[in-house]
Amino acid sequence: MAPRLRDAGVNSVNISLDSLQAPRFKVITRTGDLDRVLEGIDAAIAQGIDRIRLNVVVLDGLNRDEVLPLTQFALAKNIHISFIEEMPLGQVNVGGKP
């Protein structure tokens, strides 16, 4: 997909990455495939997409311990990272947490 985005003139992307641990990523996203997301990040970099930003929702008791590893990952890839505060949405169940 990254080549098509670049060819269409896209020069920035936001990518959700709430964990670097595959089982945890799947729990948080409910259907997510961490390897596919990581491959997408590498593809965007390889295609020269200028601004890549990772959006991380920090969930207390679920991925707060990954703030430093996610920051190190972003620094190593030379991409931006934004940490987003968890917002209550009513009856949404993420990782067994209401």
Which H or E run includes 56? strand 51-58
Sequence-ordered alpha helix ranges (H) in the chain: 2-7, 22-29, 34-46, 67-77
Question: Residue 35 contacts by C-beta under 8 Å, 6 or more apart in sequence?
Answer: 22
Looking up tokens 């969930």, which residue turns up? 59
pTM exceeds 0.85, yes or no: no
Give pLDDT tens digits for 46-61: 999 989 999 999 998 8
State the pLDDT confidence band at 6, using cuts at 50, 70 and 90. confident
**pLDDT of 98 higher than 60:** no
d(Cα 42, Cα 80) in Å, to the nearest integer?
A: 14
